Structure 1
Amino acid sequence: MIATTTASESNTTNDGMKKNDSLPVFPYSGGYMNGEQSGSSLDGENLSERNRECNGKLSLHGGSYIPLHERITKRINDNSPFFSLEFFPPKTANGVANFFTRLDRFREGNPMFIDITWHLSSDPANIKKETSSLSIAAGCLNYCRMDTMLHVTCAQYIKEQTLRHLQMSKAVGLRNILALRGDIPQQDENPTVYKYRALDMIRWIKEEYGDYFTIGCAGYPTGHPEAPSYAADLRYLKSKVDAGAHLIITQLFFDADVFEKFVHDCREIGITVPIIPGVMPIQGYESIRRIAALSQLTIPESILKALEPIRHDDDAVRSFGIRHAVEMCRRLLSSGTATSIHLYTMNRESSCREILQELGLWTRMPMRSLPWKSFEGNHPLRSKEDVRPIFWSTRPKSYVFRTRDWDEFPNGRWGNSSSPAFNDLADYYLFYLKGQLNKEEQLRMYGYQLENMEAVRKVFVNFITQQPNEHNVKVTRLPWNEQDVGTDAETVLIRDQLIWCNENGILTVNSQPSVNGAPSTDPLVGWGKPGGYCYQKGYLEFFTCQKNADVLRNILPSYPRLSCHIINHNASIDWTNTDATTPIAVTWGVFPGCEIAQPTVVDPLSFRVWKDEAYEAWNNWASIYPSGSTSRKILEEIHDEFCLVTLVDNDFPKPLIIFEVLAEVLRIAGRSDSS
């Protein structure tokens, strides 16, 4: 049995509880922290009734999905520059894990869209293969929350195969296709297979799918190397646009004059769709020569002359490549020839980021539209989604996976469901769920050995404080977190209380402070449109020993403002003091001309689904230690013996009492131990 209390520390009380002199927490009101309250009497309950009294339709993050080409056209008309990025599928599963982490960082710059190349070697249409082009594109859309365009080639396939690839693209949620012919082998064993071109595919898309897909096509600023002439290639490009292509992305080029002439010539023959310049930063001397040769492009003599003295200095070549790309793109943007840049990243990050920052295109995402990581209008099916259970707030990719088969997503309210259909995690790709931490990284973060319960507590405390542990390593994530980002910004409002909890064996995995009318622009708790006000009920989710859970259950009748749910790993304990099926809104917002938004709920039914995932995290943690070791036994006993508890303080305008109640729990439990 695990020892759950200790009195060895100097800052403990006589009953073994660590001290905290400021357990009550006043509700945060943003700019109103001078003691004034917003005066709102909204309690977050039955908000759907109040919704009917509002005049507007909530549209915090775009509402319905707007096709990519329409958004691009609007940005061009508004003279609002943007950028997009191209990537190719990684070759290995480990590479996929790194790839999605890199994309999460790229998303910080707010790209308009990304595209994924069609790699024949990846078995590109095999959705069950995690490195296939289709699988990677679906992952970018669903798990990185980026509007994604998939390259699809047709020369290697018969018509029926290409149509099947398009149908599979639609099935995984993709709405954007870059229609390409694809490379034809020099030695044609079966020339009849290669009779189709991009124009054929564009016509098929329009015939079969109408306006469902945004269609991109390729443009060649110096003409396609296989075209009879530059003029003939322009005429073929116009035929692709006339057939239904919405936009053109160009082949790479090295001279701004070349692109400017190409755009002029396109406009002269009646091509009016957006033409996006494709730019490949020079990142290595040999690599750019090889790519130019494959593309049958001529590198200007001035560039070769500048590179020759530094050809063996990779850093110098990279710096030159950044300067050249910035100068060329800046000219195109300032002249108005282009309103956007499409970067061929070669799956590299630093050079692309520097170029975009120099150009002023790398812009942080605006204020979050919802308190959780929403799709910001980038997902065809989830653009209207605006309600989620709070339990997955630190595992948004897991939530997306578990709800991937839903036909529609909650909009306006969560509602009552007797059987929410969450997918099982058994077949969840490990790189989505567990990220990149390998065994050694976890050991350095969580400890090479856990001798007692106190060692486990220290891991949680180090996560809250973000102070380095004894190995001089920060605990940037717990096993319940998907990303290495530490705690949320709002955690600072209850930081001391969370430290106190974890020091005393109340192991917290999710929380939010109470908020009473903070401006929607508040840097800590704000979300939604400017001019609104945000509200939250205090919430805490934690693991604790069954004795503490029993004491909590016994004293809760004295605290009717608290909603509680207690469950254990096999649900032999499953108790709540609220309705067993009714969700509770714990976050809501009031915005000008809109319905009241309630984007976060505590739902008892979803909690019973979440508990399996929450408890499995203990097993995953235990697995990094040898079988039979003290460390593994401690974590396995926590899994078997501790309860998972949620507490909601419904009286959000008053000081939070969750931590006071937990202090009373520990005092009572401590007295029973001493007796």
Structure 2
Amino acid sequence: MRISEKLNQAYSSSNPPPATFSFEFFVPKTSQGVQNLYDRMDRMYELNPIFIDITWNAGGRSSSLTNEMVYTAQSALGLETCMHLTCTNMSVSLIDEALERAKKSGCQNILALRGDPPLDGTESTGDFKYAKDLILYIRKNYGNYFNIGVAAYPEGHPEESDLDLTVKYLKDKCDAGADFIITQMFYDTDNFIEWCSKVRKIGVDIPIIPGIMPISTYAAFMRRAKWSEIKVPKHFLDVLEPIKDDDFLVREKGTELVSQMCTKLLESGYVKHLHFYTMNLERSTIMCLENLGLIDQVKSHDTIGGAILPWRKSLNPSRQKETIRPIFWQNRKHSYISRTSTWDEFPNGRWGDSSSPAFGDIDLNAADLLRQSPKRAFELWGHPQSLKEFADLTISYLRGQLKSMPWSDGSISEDTSVIAEDLVKLNQNGFITINSQPPLNATRSNDKVFGWGPKNGYVFQKQYLEFFCHKSVISKLLDQVDIFNKSSGDNSRVLTYYVVDKTGELITNTNDEDINAVTWGVFPGEEIVQPTIVERNSFLAWKDEAYSLITEWVRIFESNLAKDFLKGKEAQVQTSIEFFKSFETDFVLCNIVNNNFTDDAKELFGVFEGLQFQ
């Protein structure tokens, strides 16, 4: 959605928030930095920003990476994204390429910037001289598809000391077709309010969004202020200079100062929305939002954020009607989006057409399969040499001591944590768990842990367990599943399962075409929504990825990088390689669904009693 429409939607409601906010992120220099930033953006999604923006670095890999990050933010993370686009030294063809890629990602918001001139003082050689030229070009060739933002300088532009002239240039950009304004950072609130008055008096009536730079350390605060050539008010210096060597105290007091500044801006009547320059950090920004009391108020506001489904809705145009996903990828949304992008039927709101030749066509050579650099993988997971060490690693994750596992991009979720100790016991007995959910029976949709969807509804879940099991144990486990089912009545399939090895040999007690809804909600005035399912074809597609993650892990141990990270531990690394290769051969991937959602979690875990492999 366009930013101006989102702002109008927020403030035209019957219960408008006191303020809305957004975040800016810049493109990291390393691939691991990009993955870490995705994780940070993912966490900050929970704060419900109206949008984020991602900076543009013209030329080379950095500019294409901006487009890639916009695609990920829109498609996988479900964050409304604004893409910076600078036109200095940019040809029309490069501008078109960037805009087309943004459009295909579902991005409808562009911050149109001139960009920095050449460092040697020469004239720009591109097809655009000013940001106004870029705005006119976008409007001419893309009509109103894009919402266009422009930059403004409340304390003057470094290349123009006449403030009245900079306001005139801003008016020219607005007249060319701008929809909103984002300002440079500042700390002089009185000057900003006076500048807003000038802008409004010359006929600019589009939203003015102030750029807010939180204060993390004194050195960074002063460096950014100097670089941006902005005034630092005396009362800021009076507070911060005496404590400049105490980073913790500077952040605390700096947050108070910035929060007071934001309060004054909101009270001025010129501002309703705050845009935070995060510098790819999160704590200082979150502290400001907490001080302003905006986090809880925005979370409770139905028209802002608040996914309808229990998984993150993609904003990519080709997936806007998607309402169902296989549960197997619930902890790997980046992977799910990229690996199912060629599956059919997303425009019709389905999870995929198993009769399509594209179904299950997964690019398992993708560089982001493991989503961790080799060094980071070693730091997180070490080099397990036995099933017990592998199980202990999973247990550390279940107890919140690890932030991710190969099969889970983020920390254990709150809803899974309620069965964490039962999962721990399974791992101690040789079942390596990778995905699960507890049962729910008519839980209110506004429940803080399990709720999702519109208010005044009820949500349901069947208990689901996914795990690796040694081949010598699986027959005993399935015997106990059959005993459980028989005790539930004739021809009963209370527990349904899929079991598959790396080669694709499948054992199941389901029918070929079964599609089992494992999560659903019932809401007033709406049909029943069934957002997660278990079924055969997507499970087999997921199987390829699950085993390939192990293969990628082994490749790290076999790489030259391992020699650098683990010098003196060559024997242990070799043992790890041998263990994981045998694991791939000797363990099968299993999932079990308890279709009686009225059972408590203990019923399914009871099926594993007496089973153990070490």
Give the match for residue 265 of structure 2: 332
| Among candidates 462, 465, 468, match of residue 543 of structure 1 | 468
Q: Within 2, Cα distance between the matches of 1:180 and 1:457?
A: 52
1:323 partnered with 2:268: no
Deviation at 1:547, TM superposition (A): 3.2
Unpaired runs of at least 5, structure 2:
486-491, 558-568
1:417 partnered with 2:357: no
Give the match for residue 12 of structure 1: none
Asked if 2 retains the 8 angstrom alpha-carbon contact of 1:584 and 1:603, the reply is: yes
Asked if 2 retains the 8 angstrom alpha-carbon contact of 1:282 and 1:318, the reply is: yes
Asked if 1 retains the 8 angstrom alpha-carbon contact of 2:216 and 2:254, the reply is: yes
**What's the C-alpha RMSD, in Å, of the aligned pairs?**
3.3
Give the match for residue 39 of structure 1: none
Give the match for residue 322 of structure 2: 385
Spell out, residue by residue over 1:328-368, the C-alpha distance to the aligned partner (whole angstroms, 9 max, x if none).
11111133321111122223333222222111223475696
Give the match for residue 584 of structure 2: 639
| Among candidates 585, 598, 614, match of residue 546 of structure 2 | 614
Counterpart code for 2:325:
R
Number of matched residues?
A: 582
- How is 1:586-597 mapped onto 2 (pairs within 5 angstroms)? 586-597=518-529
Deviation at 1:152, TM superposition (A): 0.5
Deviation at 1:438, TM superposition (A): 3.2
Give the secondary-structure state (helix, strand or coil) at the position aligned to 1:165: helix
Larger radius of gyration: 1
| Among candidates 29, 40, 52, match of residue 114 of structure 1 | 52
Spell out, residue by residue over 1:33-66, the C-alpha distance to the aligned partner (whole angstroms, 9 max, x if none).
xxxxxxxxxxxxxxxxxxxxxxxxxxxxxxxxx3
Asked if 2 retains the 8 angstrom alpha-carbon contact of 1:415 and 1:583, the reply is: no
Give the secondary-structure state (helix, strand or coil) at the position aligned to 1:264: helix
Give the match for residue 111 of structure 2: 178
Asked if 2 retains the 8 angstrom alpha-carbon contact of 1:386 and 1:411, the reply is: no
Counterpart code for 1:486:
I
Change (3 A) 1:394 1:123: closer
Q: Within 2, Cα distance between the matches of 1:285 and 1:523?
A: 38
Q: Within 2, Cα distance between the matches of 1:547 and 1:247?
A: 64
- How is 1:654-669 mapped onto 2 (pairs within 5 angstroms)? 654=599, 657-663=603-609, 666=611
Deviation at 1:433, TM superposition (A): 6.0
| Among candidates 66, 91, 108, match of residue 158 of structure 1 | 91
Structure of greater relative contact order (alpha carbons < 8 Å, 6+ residues apart): 1
Deviation at 1:500, TM superposition (A): 4.0
Identical aligned pairs, as a percentage?
37
Give the match for residue 673 of structure 1: none
Change (3 A) 1:262 1:563: same
Moved more, 348-357 or 647-656: 647-656
1:489 partnered with 2:401: no
Unpaired runs of at least 5, structure 1:
1-65, 127-131, 468-473, 671-675
Deviation at 1:456, TM superposition (A): 3.9
1:650 partnered with 2:595: yes
Give the match for residue 566 of structure 2: none
Moved more, 315-324 or 82-91: 315-324
Give the secondary-structure state (helix, strand or coil) at the position aligned to 1:547: helix
Deviation at 1:551, TM superposition (A): 4.0
Q: Within 2, Cα distance between the matches of 1:433 and 1:406?
A: 26
Asked if 2 retains the 8 angstrom alpha-carbon contact of 1:413 and 1:598, the reply is: no
Change (3 A) 1:261 1:117: same
Q: Within 2, Cα distance between the matches of 1:169 and 1:195?
A: 19
Q: Within 1, Cα distance between the matches of 2:453 and 2:374?
A: 29
Asked if 2 retains the 8 angstrom alpha-carbon contact of 1:565 and 1:645, the reply is: yes
Normalising by structure 2, we get a TM-score of 0.84
Asked if 2 retains the 8 angstrom alpha-carbon contact of 1:310 and 1:317, the reply is: yes
Give the secondary-structure state (helix, strand or coil) at the position aligned to 1:120: coil
Asked if 2 retains the 8 angstrom alpha-carbon contact of 1:534 and 1:588, the reply is: yes
Spell out, residue by residue over 1:549-603, the C-alpha distance to the aligned partner (whole angstroms, 9 max, x if none).
33455676663313221110111x2122222243211111110011110000002
Q: Which structure shows the higher helix fraction?
A: 2
Spell out, residue by residue over 1:82-111, the C-alpha distance to the aligned partner (whole angstroms, 9 max, x if none).
111222211122322332232233223222
Deviation at 1:402, TM superposition (A): 1.2
Q: Within 1, Cα distance between the matches of 2:233 and 2:127?
A: 33
Moved more, 344-353 or 600-609: 344-353
| Among candidates 479, 482, 490, match of residue 406 of structure 2 | 479
- How is 1:234-633 mapped onto 2 (pairs within 5 angstroms)? 234-285=167-218, 287-300=220-233, 303-304=236-237, 309-310=242-243, 314-315=247-248, 317-363=250-296, 365=299, 369=307, 372-375=310-313, 379-405=316-342, 409=346, 414=351, 416-419=353-356, 420-429=359-368, 432=371, 437-443=376-382, 450-451=385-386, 453-464=387-398, 466=399, 474-483=401-410, 485-492=411-418, 494-495=419-420, 497-553=422-478, 559=485, 560-561=492-493, 562-571=495-504, 573-622=505-554, 624=557, 626=570, 629-633=574-578
Normalising by structure 1, we get a TM-score of 0.77
Q: Within 1, Cα distance between the matches of 2:457 and 2:402?
A: 35
Change (3 A) 1:567 1:305: closer
Change (3 A) 1:257 1:381: farther
Spell out, residue by residue over 1:474-505, the C-alpha distance to the aligned partner (whole angstroms, 9 max, x if none).
3554432111x23542452x455434433333
Q: Within 1, Cα distance between the matches of 2:370 and 2:37?
A: 10
Give the match for residue 38 of structure 2: 100
Change (3 A) 1:67 1:436: farther
Give the match for residue 221 of structure 1: 154
Asked if 1 retains the 8 angstrom alpha-carbon contact of 2:210 and 2:273, the reply is: yes
Q: Within 2, Cα distance between the matches of 1:461 and 1:322?
A: 37
Deviation at 1:207, TM superposition (A): 1.6
Asked if 2 retains the 8 angstrom alpha-carbon contact of 1:479 and 1:617, the reply is: yes
Spell out, residue by residue over 1:265-284, the C-alpha distance to the aligned partner (whole angstroms, 9 max, x if none).
22222211110011223445
Counterpart code for 1:479:
P
Q: Within 2, Cα distance between the matches of 1:435 and 1:318?
A: 33
Q: Within 1, Cα distance between the matches of 2:172 and 2:225?
A: 27
Give the match for residue 68 of structure 1: 3
Give the match for residue 562 of structure 2: none
Q: Within 1, Cα distance between the matches of 2:350 and 2:266?
A: 44
Give the secondary-structure state (helix, strand or coil) at the position aligned to 1:277: strand
Counterpart code for 1:256:
T
Q: Within 1, Cα distance between the matches of 2:409 and 2:63?
A: 28
Q: Within 2, Cα distance between the matches of 1:418 and 1:100?
A: 34
Q: Within 1, Cα distance between the matches of 2:275 and 2:539?
A: 43
Change (3 A) 1:318 1:546: closer
Deviation at 1:463, TM superposition (A): 4.2
Asked if 1 retains the 8 angstrom alpha-carbon contact of 2:23 and 2:52, the reply is: yes
Deviation at 1:442, TM superposition (A): 1.4
Asked if 2 retains the 8 angstrom alpha-carbon contact of 1:433 and 1:482, the reply is: no
Give the match for residue 9 of structure 1: none
Asked if 2 retains the 8 angstrom alpha-carbon contact of 1:97 and 1:431, the reply is: no
Deviation at 1:200, TM superposition (A): 1.4
Change (3 A) 1:394 1:370: farther
Counterpart code for 1:599:
P
